[in-house]
Structure 1
Amino acid sequence: MQKFQLLLIIFLFSILVNAQVSSKYDISFENAIHHEASIQVTFTDLKSDEVEFRMSRSSPGRYAIHEFAKNVYNVKVTDGKGNLLKITRPNPYAWYVSGHDGTIKVSYTLFANHGDGTYAQIDETHAHLNMPATFMYVPELSENEMEITFNVREDLNWKVATQLKHLEDNTYYAKNLQYFMDSPTEITNYRTRSFQVDNQIVKLILHDDAATNEDLDTYFDHIKKVVLQQKAIYGELPVFDYGEYTFLACYMPNATGDGMEHRNSTYLVSTRSLAKGGINQNIGTASHEFFHCWNVERIRPKSLEPFNFEEANMSGELWFAEGFTSYYDDLTLCRAGIISQPNYITGLTGAFNYVWNSPGRDFFNPIEMSYQAPFVDAAKSVDETNRENTFISYYSYGSMLGLALDLSLREKGLSLDDYMKLVWQTYGKTKTFYTIANLNETLNAYAGKDFGNHFFNNYIYKSGMPDFKRLFETVGVNLSNDNSKVDLGVYVRHGKLMNNPRINSSAYNAGLQKGDKLIKVGATEINEDIDLNELLTSYKVNDTVDIVFERFGETKTSTITLQVDTSYTISLMESDKKPLDKNLKTNRENWLQAKE
């Protein structure tokens, strides 16, 4: 009797569990050579008379619209008994059916040949799957559980790598749509390395046919150093679902460069093999994406919750979520000894000049720059824009703000490390979504109200430039510019202006525009053998120079008044003849040395 009751309980529990799974996917890759996948999905527990199923228009970690439905075709729908149902199309992204019996079975073909952090790619090297680009879903079932079975190509020795929960064989589980869509999957003949940190596993999955096992070991050693240095900032790793974090690295010639963060994994994608420079060139992306497992995945802006798969996702916090993460990616590599301190310092120069010399600060503050993400984050348009003059990447802008805040805090005996740790403890660990005002309040609590409000009022709510010359000096770094050099304010290649001239620059004030081709500058004819930068060194600031150029096939003339080159140089104070002051050296070491 007891045995019968036990079996009955197990049977009823099994029915209950199965009833909770309302979306069951099955994907196969017989026609991988032509970049196609065959997908079948059964949706159950449907309550609406007319059911909508659709493709996503956005993808976690991206902020722009991506029309994934364009690669779906051969769509067929039946009810649970196999009766064919009529499909209607209310818009380009969705399909409607009615007359079902609480269940619909959908089959379709997906074309996929763009292997990056957002799209999907299927060929005989791998099935590279970002879920929004691959799978239809029913919005009314978004809170229900999901299962997926990957029918791998055994003839190609494929294996599945994903953050989804493994059930059995090649079947995996997600608790709801948000988790499912956030779980990229690499199916290929990969190699793997792993190590344990505080009873959790950090894994590297590598799809890189050219890399040797020695390359893999060296790269994984870099990843271990990154993980431990970033853990030292926050004092702990996040609690990863199912106790694992996975780097999904696809370094193949058919891939498209990218990196994309997810809750317990990241896609690292590049055409650079570890065997061809990728060990050092790819590690920066790995550093950036792992930092996201705190900052943006768990330290989560309220504006991105819940993530909307049907629209663009706009957030005013990207200067912090993406930008401060960008500050820490190379800083981590420096602390880990992967790049040297001198190279780290000089490496700041490009982003520094890009941000602080941009006219974009006259139009948008860091919050408003973050609002631009739906227009620039892998978004495509055919019309011209003036972003050279109006936009600064929130990655770079936020990175420079992170640098400024870190050095400013260190003047007070504090650090950005400890501020980030406090933000983690206040919002990330407590699963509380934050606002910009919350970040301001937390800085006030950490560094004092006057300090916190000054930083936010001048550099976040406004577009002011911090006193970097003084801040750099506190860590033994020189910030300088050469007031004798001139600059056109536009990128010129083989005499042709390749972008819109910077507002109020020499070229801008002379009326030059993108597409113009310089024929003559002063007495010098411009051809492919002429180094324009070298030519400009023969002129002084405020010199007036006649120019001849071609526009739309017509020869024109103008006069340029050459303006000062406003770019900066960042360098170490010490030299062979003059060692660095002991206090400044200590300050720099506290900033750049490895953390315990």
Structure 2
Amino acid sequence: MFNKKSVLSLVLVLTGIMAAKAQVKIGFEVSFKEPQAHYAEVQMNISGLAKDYVDVKMPVWTPGSYLVREFEKSVEDFKATASGKTLRVEKVRKNTWRIFSAKANDVKINYRVYAFEISVRTPFIDESHAFLSPTGIFMHLDGMIKSPSTVKIIPFNTWSKVSTGLTPVAGQQFTYHATDFDILYDSPIEVGNQDVFEFTASGVRHEVAMYGGGNYDKEKLKVDMAKIVDQETAVYGENPNKYYLFIVHNFQRGGGGLEHLNSTTLGATRDAYNTEKGYNGFLALVAHEYHHLWNVKRLRPVALGPFDYDNENYTTNLWVAEGFTSYYENKYMHRAGFIDANGFVNDLAAGIATVLNTPGAKVQSAASSSYDAWIIGYRPNENSKNNAISYYNKGEVIGILMDLEIINATRGAKSLDDVMKAMYLQCKTLKRGYTDAEFKAMVEKVSGISFTNFWAKYVNGVDDAEYVKYFGYAGVDVSTENATPGKPVTGASCTLGNGLIVTSTTRNSAAWVDGLNVNDEIISVDGVTVDEALSTIKLRSPMISLDVLPVVAKKNIGDVLKVKVKRDGLEKEFSLKLKANPNVRLKATINENATAAQKAVFAKWAGK
């Protein structure tokens, strides 16, 4: 029954709640008294929330990296005061501190964060700089994720710069505004003396903040990074930002990236910019992370936002979010002119070979890999290659096949580009993410054919990719050969440290079938001691295959190898019947005699 008074009362209550929230002010100050010891000092000021107690919470994970990392473990010396008086604090959950504020209007919280893990997803501080990954630094009021906040950075006395995608507060140095905590948690902050340069592409101002030095050429990077931005914007028809920030950490050996709404953090090798492999590797990383500006940050699975920062956020669609992005980085590198057509098709063929050569691809589907990212993807163990497949790798293969299927079905009129753009616009219009069914429906709408069987085989199933068929649509011939023709393999991987220790065995290999275990210490092979065997070869890495030992290399497929090991302090001997290598190599060749229809498919596929 409609009751005018009840409705009016409800409106007044909701208005009151909203007004109360609007009056709450949250501000942070971050300083660095002991950067050499890897600490940040954080002060959180809360006003306008007069309650008996206040709960503040730290996220347990960071969006884009699907693992509960327990950031709260690095918090120390948590204190709260009001009007100069110490307030009682009780930790009520692993990531929640309850402050008994006794209706105080202004509450000041102080805590320290230890930050000494080098990665793109975790905060790191030393005497040279501070990288503030926000989910590992800041806290929010329980139930008030949508509250605005300000952040003031007080650099250490030898630092002079702050780089972040947050909005600067006019007239206040190193002070920034976030409209809500989703924005704050999605805006990394670099503090130090980073080398900063800019370029404009697709009407957007881009800033690059380089930490750690390196042999990069700024002028060349400005031109080449802009080419990638332009190619990606062309697919989606618009660039959603007016400003974008690349934070680049250059190390002796670095890698990886993490996407954000208007920025990204990249890891790079500081002295690799002057080699073709190193330079193209960096540009490919730029292409990958920048594509997330659309795919995952805006065109996203429905489970990935609004975020639950206390728990895992499950989705079966990371094969689209990450796998398709891996596929598109190859497309953009080709379209921007950094790899030629032969390099393009062979890079994709190599991606297919990676999946074919991973035993876990026959066990775990792309959808399952996505869902289990939280328990397997970021926590691999010695058996992961045998029972799991990366949604990056499997998703890249699905992207290749799906793109070619769409192009072939539409005779070159449409491609996966059209699906991605349509889904981006759909998410923008509906203001929410997509479901798996909605993504499949859009693929079928664009292509005009059913993808039910395709989904069953490649998304939810574990079928091998029919790469010869799909590449054939584009007039590309793919040949397959054994990775080590005529040579046997043991299937045992080892590391050389305090002895030669088995680190993994491949499913159905000789080592697997005949009983070698992870953590076995190899003593001798066919009577030849490990020291004697290793003295005759030059190793480039402590991570080696047992197959590199000369005594193994001399064997034939079907021969028996005697391997003596020490297991739990006891010596054991195993007889390994050597098998052929199950791994394959793929070589893609563009057919000069391709039909007109095949050439049309290739032209649409390559986009050049």
Band the TM-score falls in, shorter-chain normalisation: 0.7 to 0.9
**Distance in 1 between the 2:600 and 2:30 partners?**
57
Shift of 1:478: 1.7
| Match of residue 409, structure 1, among 406, 409, 432 | 406
- Does the aligned pair in 2 maintain the 1:64–1:376 contact within 8 Å? no
Q: Summarize the alignment of residues 5-404 of structure 1 with structure 2, pairs less than 5 Å apart.
A: 20=23, 22-46=25-49, 48-79=51-82, 81-98=83-100, 99-153=102-156, 155-168=157-170, 169-211=173-215, 215-237=217-239, 239-240=240-241, 243-253=242-252, 257-273=255-271, 279-348=279-348, 350-376=350-376, 378-379=378-379, 386-404=383-401
For residue 5 of structure 1, what is the aligned residue in structure 2? Answer: none
Q: Secondary structure at the match of 1:491?
A: strand
The change in CA–CA distance for 1:440 and 1:210 in structure 2 (over 3 A counts) is: closer
For residue 592 of structure 1, what is the aligned residue in structure 2? Answer: 606
**Distance in 1 between the 2:247 and 2:565 partners?**
49
Unpaired stretches in structure 1, ≥5 consecutive residues = 1-15
Q: Secondary structure at the match of 1:507?
A: helix
Shift of 1:369: 0.9
Shift of 1:342: 3.3
Match status 1:557 vs 2:559: no
The change in CA–CA distance for 1:409 and 1:525 in structure 2 (over 3 A counts) is: farther
- Does the aligned pair in 1 maintain the 2:489–2:547 contact within 8 Å? no
**Distance in 1 between the 2:271 and 2:92 partners?**
44
Shift of 1:573: 2.7
**Distance in 1 between the 2:145 and 2:135 partners?**
13
For residue 440 of structure 2, what is the aligned residue in structure 1? Answer: 440
The change in CA–CA distance for 1:325 and 1:20 in structure 2 (over 3 A counts) is: farther
> What is the one-letter code of the residue matched to 2:47?
T
- Relative to the length of structure 1, the TM-score reads 0.86
**Distance in 2 between the 1:78 and 1:311 partners?**
29
Shift of 1:219: 2.3
**Distance in 1 between the 2:379 and 2:73 partners?**
15
Unpaired stretches in structure 2, ≥5 consecutive residues = 1-18, 538-545
Decide which moves more: 101-110 or 494-503: 494-503
| Match of residue 487, structure 1, among 479, 489, 499 | 489
**Distance in 2 between the 1:395 and 1:42 partners?**
41
**Distance in 1 between the 2:459 and 2:420 partners?**
17
Q: Secondary structure at the match of 1:144?
A: coil
> What is the one-letter code of the residue matched to 2:387?
T
**Distance in 2 between the 1:546 and 1:540 partners?**
10
**Distance in 1 between the 2:118 and 2:571 partners?**
45
For residue 469 of structure 2, what is the aligned residue in structure 1? Answer: 470
The change in CA–CA distance for 1:455 and 1:366 in structure 2 (over 3 A counts) is: same
**Distance in 2 between the 1:569 and 1:35 partners?**
46
**Distance in 2 between the 1:49 and 1:203 partners?**
45
> What is the one-letter code of the residue matched to 1:591?
W
- Does the aligned pair in 1 maintain the 2:524–2:565 contact within 8 Å? no
Shift of 1:182: 0.8
For residue 9 of structure 1, what is the aligned residue in structure 2? Answer: none
**Distance in 1 between the 2:565 and 2:465 partners?**
41
Per-residue Cα deviation, 1:274-311 (whole angstroms, up to 9, x for no partner): 65655333222211110101100001111122212112
Per-residue Cα deviation, 1:201-232 (whole angstroms, up to 9, x for no partner): 233222243346xx122223221111112122
**Distance in 1 between the 2:112 and 2:526 partners?**
61
**Distance in 2 between the 1:111 and 1:225 partners?**
39
**Distance in 1 between the 2:51 and 2:422 partners?**
46
- Does the aligned pair in 2 maintain the 1:264–1:293 contact within 8 Å? yes
**Distance in 1 between the 2:599 and 2:527 partners?**
50
For residue 509 of structure 2, what is the aligned residue in structure 1? Answer: 505
Shift of 1:362: 4.0
**Distance in 1 between the 2:222 and 2:492 partners?**
41
**Distance in 2 between the 1:304 and 1:18 partners?**
25
Per-residue Cα deviation, 1:11-68 (whole angstroms, up to 9, x for no partner): xxxxx99964621011112322222222111112325422111322111211111121
For residue 560 of structure 2, what is the aligned residue in structure 1? Answer: 545
The change in CA–CA distance for 1:220 and 1:294 in structure 2 (over 3 A counts) is: same
Query: Percent identity at matched positions?
Result: 26
For residue 461 of structure 1, what is the aligned residue in structure 2? Answer: 460
The size of the alignment, in residue pairs, is: 563
- Does the aligned pair in 1 maintain the 2:488–2:556 contact within 8 Å? yes
Instruction: Quote the RMSD (CA, aligned, Å).
Output: 2.9
Per-residue Cα deviation, 1:253-276 (whole angstroms, up to 9, x for no partner): 5x9643110111111123434656
> What is the one-letter code of the residue matched to 2:167?
K
Q: Secondary structure at the match of 1:282?
A: helix
Decide which moves more: 399-408 or 414-423: 414-423
Per-residue Cα deviation, 1:351-407 (whole angstroms, up to 9, x for no partner): 433322333234322111112211245459xxx652121111111111111112122
Shift of 1:325: 0.7
The change in CA–CA distance for 1:485 and 1:582 in structure 2 (over 3 A counts) is: farther
**Distance in 1 between the 2:24 and 2:195 partners?**
32
Decide which moves more: 191-200 or 414-423: 191-200
**Distance in 2 between the 1:129 and 1:25 partners?**
13
For residue 8 of structure 1, what is the aligned residue in structure 2? Answer: none
Shift of 1:430: 4.3
The change in CA–CA distance for 1:443 and 1:261 in structure 2 (over 3 A counts) is: same
Q: Secondary structure at the match of 1:233?
A: helix
The change in CA–CA distance for 1:344 and 1:518 in structure 2 (over 3 A counts) is: farther
Decide which moves more: 407-416 or 346-355: 346-355
Q: Secondary structure at the match of 1:224?
A: helix
The change in CA–CA distance for 1:466 and 1:280 in structure 2 (over 3 A counts) is: closer
**Distance in 2 between the 1:252 and 1:429 partners?**
41
